[in-house]
Amino acid sequence: MAEPFLRRRRASFAACAAAVFLAACGGGGGDGTPSAAAPGGAGAAAATPQVALSSSASQFLNLDIAQVLDYAPHLPPFYDAGVAALDNTPADNALDNKVATLGRVIFHDVRLSVGDNVACATCHQAANDFADSKRFSVGFDGSVGTRHAPRLANLRYWKPGNMFWDRRAPTLEAQSTLPVQNPVEMGFDVAHGGMPIVLDKMTRQPYYPELFSFAFGDPQITEARVQKALAQYMRAMVSTGSRWDDGYAQTFDPSLPDKGLDKPVPTLTAQEDRGRHLFMALPSAGGLACAVCHVPPTFALAANSLGNGLDAGETTVFKAPSLKNVGRSTNFMHDGRFTTLEEVVDHYASGVQDGPALDPRLKGPDGKPRVRTITPDDKAALVAFLKTLSDPVLSADPRFADPFRH
């Protein structure tokens, strides 16, 4: 049964939370249980690392490197081999908890911006499920961007692996340092010296030479190492703690073609379960087939998905984030144009525009954008179901908390 797994997962979370609480009260640092480097990980061949940060580094970080947290996701049984096959982790960046711990520091460090005021975590806030509460994020000099910062949960299960809304970065590793070099976001573009200045700035911080030695075996700070650390940290953001997850753990059936995805879920209300059926089932079974593109149990985008017709004539194929925690978001789509899930449902029902990038599954037999009639009750049910994908465990996970002293 799944219930013991859920109890173990929450007990593990509670232990991590207790470790962070003790650290905040002077108990010796911000991390929990010891964990060795994963075989083949970036730090696996490193010499014996130091067991504590120096006093100069500890002035900045509430982090006990002798007690690193385990960044391996704790997965329920329905994250099976089929889900594992969607993992975009490259062979040369297997998880190493020391490297992921370094990634945690880099992710939260405002010193990687020109003004010492913007970090990755500024726009991808744990309190907002690693998205931004604003439609457009504010950069280091007060400038405002043109894209909504997306949620990060389950990005490791986007199989093609390319990143950004427009998929321009080939991998998560390649994507991870581009915001640092963006002239609006963190500011270290060519005019401000680019990554060489960033790396030099990191070298002059008292904690980075120590952390890079801890993670990689020597203090050399390179962009490739920064990318590996950030990517490992972000891939650890796996969401399995929603009410839907709890319920599907009880109905998961690997012997069925759909693995029990369209079976009634006991943890949902009648309205939410109606929405689940609409989301999961094909039109021939009375559903809307949302799951064809937003694939359970990760709800990450299917690899073959194309555009969703936001604008007529659209040529860019945008990539949506996982729908996990979508019910707690405040803006939707690459430009944050929708502010409610009801507006999103209305778009897919009757607002899809034609263009070269449009996914064929959003077209009718005549080749034009499909128009669907969704009753008010069904729209409310679908929205209610989407809200059951909210995961309060992930946003409060101590592994993703700010490690800096403030």
Q: Are residues 265 and 326 in the same domain?
A: yes
Q: Quick one: 209 and 248 in the same domain?
A: no
Confidence of residue 35 (pLDDT cuts 50, 70, 90): very low
Residues 193 and 320 in one domain: no
- pLDDT tens, 253-308? 999 999 999 999 999 999 999 999 999 999 999 999 999 999 999 999 999 999 99
In DSSP terms, 404 is beta-bridged to 61
What is the pLDDT averaged over residues 338-355? 96
- Both 26 and 93 in one domain: the answer is yes
Domain assignment present for 309: yes
- Work out the average pLDDT over 338-344: 97
Q: Does residue 406 belong to any structural domain of this protein?
A: no
What pLDDT is attached to residue 50? 65
3-state secondary structure the chain: CCHHHHHHHHHHHHHHHHHHHHHHCCCCCCCCCCCCCCCCCCCCCCCCCCCCCCHHHHCCECCCCCCCCCCCCCCCCCCCHHHHCCCCCCHHHCCCHHHHHHHHHHHHCHHHCCCCCCCHHHHCEHHHCCECCCCCCECCCCCECCCCCCCCCCHHHCCCCCECCCCCECCHHHHHCCHHHCCCCCCCCHHHCHHHHHHHHHHCCCCHHHHHHHHHCCCCCCHHHHHHHHHHHHHCCCCCCCHHHHHHHHHCCCCCCCCCCCCCCCCCCHHHHHHHHHHHCCHHHCCCCHHHCEECCCCEECCCCCECCCCCCCCCCCCCCCCCCHHHCCCECCCCCECCHHHHHHHHHHHCCCCCCECHHHECCCCCECCCCCCHHHHHHHHHHHHCCCCHHHHCCHHHCCCECC
Residue 234 sits in the same domain as residue 332: no
Taking the C-alpha atoms of residue 333 and residue 316, their distance in angstroms, rounded to an integer, is: 13
b/e code 315-337 from CB counts within 10 Å (16+ = b): ebbbbbbbbbbbbbbebbbbbbe
Q: Is 405 a domain residue?
A: no
Same domain, 46 and 138: yes
Virtual torsion, Cα 122, 127, 128, 130, nearest 10 deg: 60
Domain of 379, CATH number, reads 1.10.760
Please state the domain count of the chain: 2
Same domain, 66 and 199: yes
- For residue 264, the enclosing domain spans 243-390
Say if residue 102 is in the same domain as residue 66: yes
134, 192: one domain:
yes
CATH of the domain at 162: 1.10.760.10
Does residue 123 sit within a domain? yes
Co-location of 232 and 312 in the same domain: no
pLDDT in tens, 1-32: 444 445 445 545 544 444 443 333 333 333 33
Asked if the structure places residue 267 within a domain, the reply is yes
Q: pTM for the full model?
A: 0.87
Q: Residue 195 domain-assigned?
A: yes
The pLDDT value recorded for residue 19 is 42
- Report yes or no on 257 lying in a domain: yes
- pLDDT score of 271: 98
pLDDT in the model for residue 160: 96
pLDDT of the residue at 339: 96
What is the overall mean pLDDT for the chain?
89
State whether 116 and 48 are in the same domain.
Answer: yes
Q: What is the pLDDT of residue 51?
A: 74
Are 20 and 113 found together in one domain?
yes
The predicted-structure confidence for 92-146, as pLDDT tens digits, reads as follows 999 999 999 999 999 999 999 999 999 999 999 988 889 888 999 999 999 999 9
On the question of pLDDT at 78 being above 70, the answer is yes
